[in-house]
Structure 1
């Protein structure tokens, strides 16, 4: 009989099974993990409905409905949980709403919760740690909606929460608010269901110290204000089908010291989303980077516009960032398609050291740059703070180009500044690698849109090993070489690579060649290997067997 062929149970077998069931341990520790009780934040809750109009809300756009909404929230919480429902109408909110555990705000189609120009929002609370981050990150009470240490809360649509152009993009004065949602130390947050956050002031949504966050079909429009969604010191996050259009950063992952501790971040998935950022970064790590970040999966993302980085990652305040994976991402009109930088700002409590970036992969990435252009860059600090273990597979970039010939010496760098402009004009129109170890490019290319560019396509300065396999570059008519290697102590390898007309690549600079398999060894590759296993498991969960 085939080992997987089922047998009919016999009477003896049934008796033995019953006997075994009687003697099985019954403690929680012996319960299989799949059968253990779910955390409270994942348990189904009773969903009685609390209509805000039953608590005195008018929904006429002129009456202040804040107190009525707070009453409905308190009633839902006192009942053990429920849904606070906003039927169609415009609900003016002059006061801060105070969220409570086990409560979901549901805004029906045609319902808008709107900020007021005559705000009486809660004053920003004192924070003894506000020296370590910007004012907006340090104070949480001054928001349209605030909550701390809550469990099992939600905000669902298809209605709108709109600051109405009345929230502040700078530091608020008494009675003013600078964010729509301000949530700290929450466990179990749902944000989506078609809901829209609009005109959020400094932040449409800021969460800090939270865990178990789920967002599906969320729209944020802060293109006339500042940030979209700041996810700070938060773990176990899944974001799907988000559309975020921001003026400042669209979707950004940070870790600051606002809660008086250096907190961890990670186990995050973002897929099938659309992002844009007028002035700044579309999908970003930092600049606040106190606690470590690990296990991030980004897939199926479209970025349309970013005046700084499309995919940005900086460690400025001592964080180790590792096991981060980007896949199936398209970018247009980005000034800096990809930037990784380690800096020395160290703006965090507990006297941090310089941080580290390692184990990052990019697969199937396409980007078109815009002027002013910042060449895609990996910039590590010296010593143990090199960027380590980064792989690029099927990464195809088109940058503006148009620069003349220039010195191929290392550009200047402001180590305490996180912006792409903190490094002066790179001497390569394509990739500039500085103090980066175990970097590989496979089946990738870089081109320029202008008639010419006088710089090489790639320069690697310090670090190594670095390897290029089936790498295609456009040759600048006045460039001294195509790929330059400057003091790359770990060696370099170029194989099966060519320019866009099929010619051989010109190699320049100093350094040593190596066997084209040798670059696969070293500490950085261990991070990449571990990360690849996580990524494969993640893709298997999303798509079936890889």
Structure 2
């Protein structure tokens, strides 16, 4: 066996530690966990280094415990496989279980686990594959439900590798800071979530390709670590997302701490059976300063879903949250559910959704509904799903408890004739539609309806045939210049 390399010194590259030199067989059947941990320990003891996995099939039947200043590099053709032996670390106890789902209340039961580590990474072009052996529900002792599980870590790199069949989560990080990801691929389309980024700050994701069965890329803030933690300063660029049954790019549902400074650009979303761009504040968080630009969506149930709810599932008696200062620029989307029209749904009183702008946002929805009541639909304030609100009475945008919402150079169309108005706004204020285009259903009572709206303006807008939009206002005031 090769002797451990000397510690890295200033001006000299960190050493490389080949897992084969520490006893790994890479034959697809031998349990290589012990060899992997020996290489990690050697790299850590040397002051840091890269643990290299040459091409081969590495079976890992136990939880690998990561250490600071160690990067795992998976070469082309290298695959680390999960096991059905039920010999992973058992879930740790957590006194804060009640404040979030079981899966992200526990972290030890993973293929790779680390806590309070600095300068760690997964790089290369190889694969970590749960191989169908990780659990998508609540695991029994010895079973793992995630590939990578990290808490309170700093300086994390996830680049180049592929995470496949991750159980409940391919990657779950909570309470981390300074995360960089470049060309990460996640394929959990047969399992559940792609990447859950929870209570984490200073994140840059570029060139990700995430195909999930549940949520693809989701930002949350829970109480699993016993505190409300900061979230924000996030950039996601040039990435592809899909979510078979749930949300492609999502905030929530766990929303204890506040979120601020998120910038999403160049995102392609292909399929989401809940929302393409989802944002909910269910547990008291304030979500603000979020910007979406150059995003294309196809085959999503609800292209845009924003909701404030009153679940309040968080420690220290949370109140009701806020959503504000969100911009959408250059967005194209195709929805596939007539019931889940694009929605902004705030709470009453001081908890309206506010200061949202849509510029060059063009959506096509399926349509196909007849005429229906234009009253406020039912709502379960403790549920975050698009279906928690009844069928929207508008085929396009439905705005409820929303202030200072602006649409510019935007449009909404349907694939099949629809008897509902294109837009309905209720209990709102400061609404502006400028150069807005809406398709008109044969039997629709109006194109845009304002119900108890304090200040609205529709200017230089038309239907798709070029005629003026029919505006119906009740209990509302017009405030065009």
TM-score if structure 2 supplies the norm length? 0.97
1:71 aligns with 38
Deviation at 1:45? 8.0
The alignment partner of 2:428 has SS state of coil
1:136 aligns with 103
- Residues 375-390 of structure 1: matches in 2 within 5 Å? 375-390=341-356
Check conservation: 1:373, 1:399, Cα contact below 8 A.
Answer: no
Check conservation: 2:207, 2:237, Cα contact below 8 A.
Answer: yes
More strand by share: 2
2:424 is the alignment partner of 1:465: no
Deviation at 1:205? 0.1
Structure 2's unaligned 5+ residue stretches are 1-9
Aligned with residue 322 of structure 1, among 283, 288, 293: 288
> Once superposed, what is the RMSD of the aligned Cα atoms?
1.0
2:404 is the alignment partner of 1:449: no
Deviation at 1:47? 1.7
2:154 is the alignment partner of 1:198: no
The alignment partner of 2:139 has SS state of coil
Q: How many residues align?
A: 472
Q: In structure 2, how many angstroms separate the alpha carbons of the residues matched to 1:478 and 1:267?
A: 47
Deviation at 1:118? 1.1
Aligned with residue 464 of structure 2, among 500, 518, 543: 500
Q: In structure 1, how many angstroms separate the alpha carbons of the residues matched to 2:60 and 2:346?
A: 47
1:185 aligns with 152
Structure 1's unaligned 5+ residue stretches are 1-42, 518-546
Aligned with residue 431 of structure 1, among 389, 397, 402: 397
Q: In structure 2, how many angstroms separate the alpha carbons of the residues matched to 1:458 and 1:484?
A: 6
More helix by share: 1
Aligned with residue 235 of structure 1, among 191, 201, 224: 201
Check conservation: 1:236, 1:267, Cα contact below 8 A.
Answer: yes
Check conservation: 2:339, 2:392, Cα contact below 8 A.
Answer: no
The alignment partner of 1:141 has SS state of coil
Q: In structure 2, how many angstroms separate the alpha carbons of the residues matched to 1:292 and 1:515?
A: 33
1:524 aligns with none
2:15 is the alignment partner of 1:48: yes
2:444 is the alignment partner of 1:479: yes
Aligned with residue 298 of structure 1, among 260, 264, 273: 264
- Residues 208-287 of structure 1: matches in 2 within 5 Å? 208-287=174-253
Give the stretch that moved more between structures: 504-513 or 89-98.
504-513
The alignment partner of 1:438 has SS state of strand
Q: Answer with 1 or 2: which has the greater Rg.
A: 1
The alignment partner of 2:88 has SS state of coil
Check conservation: 1:45, 1:81, Cα contact below 8 A.
Answer: no
Q: In structure 1, how many angstroms separate the alpha carbons of the residues matched to 2:289 and 2:12?
A: 35
Check conservation: 2:215, 2:246, Cα contact below 8 A.
Answer: yes
Deviation at 1:511? 3.7
Deviation at 1:372? 5.5
2:473 aligns with 509
Which runs of 4 or more aligned residues in structure 1 lie more than 3 Å from their structure 2 counterparts after TM superposition?
43-46, 511-517
Check conservation: 2:338, 2:367, Cα contact below 8 A.
Answer: no
TM-score if structure 1 supplies the norm length? 0.86
2:364 is the alignment partner of 1:398: yes
Q: In structure 1, how many angstroms separate the alpha carbons of the residues matched to 2:47 and 2:224?
A: 31
